[in-house]
A = this chain, B = another copy of it.
Amino acid sequence: MIFRIATRRDLPAVLALLADEDRVLDPASMPVGEEHERAFAAIESDARNEMLVLTDADTEAGGGGTVVGCLQLTYIPGLGQGGQERALVEAVRVRADRRGEGLGAELMRLAAERARGRGCGLIQLTSNKRRTAAHRFYERLGFARSHEGFKLPLERP
């Protein structure tokens, strides 16, 4: 398995993972909208954001391989914890037909290792209250379920 920063070529595969957690969608069939191009470019050009992918193999120079998982890391500067950054994890996905192989745990382990290597003091995420299997998964990985997560949609101005 290769864990690496996603390139523009991975975008359809990442969108396929995000679009449906329970089915395998063909990346080639995913419409890549202007909003996706813009958001991907924003992540790619931001020194504190990374879209990371887990791939089966890296058969070609400069990327390649089949994307089987992804997550986004955001490194947040802050005044607490001795001024260390904290890492926020969003958009964690493992391809539906590749569950049960430990890829999710591997993805999270690699993400934590990456954040630690950068000097982050903490890694954090939220998971919908309905996703009880995911909660057990994060607790098995050593995460403490210490917080309530609140969200408020914002209407367009």
Q: Quick check: is A9 within 8 A (CB to CB) of the other chain?
A: no
CA distance A119 to B153 in the complex (A): 11
Q: Is the CB of B117 within 8 A of A135?
A: no
Q: In the complex, are the beta carbons of B147 and A143 less than 8 A apart?
A: no
Q: Do the beta carbons of B154 and A127 come within 8 Å of each other?
A: no
**Chain A interface residue number, banded:** 35 or more
Of chain B, the residue at the smallest CB distance from A38 is B83
Give residues of chain A (74-90) contacting chain B, Cβ–Cβ below 8 Å. 74, 76-80, 82-85, 87-88, 90
Question: With contacts A36-B83, A82-B35 known, is A148 near B129, CB below 8 A?
Answer: yes
Interface pair A148/B126, CB less than 8 Å apart: yes
- Pick the contact of A39: B83, B122, B128, B156 (CB < 8 A): B83
Distance in angstroms between the alpha carbons of A26 and B48 in the assembled complex: 33
Pairwise interchain contact B121-A138, C-beta atoms closer than 8 A: no
Interface mask (A130-157 → B, CB under 8 Å = 1, otherwise 0): 0000010011011111111111111111
Given A36-B83, A48-B46, the answer on whether A152 and B77 have CB atoms closer than 8 Å is no
A112 to B152, CA, bound (A): 9
Given known contacts A48-B46, A157-B117, A79 and B15 CB-to-CB distance under 8 angstroms: yes
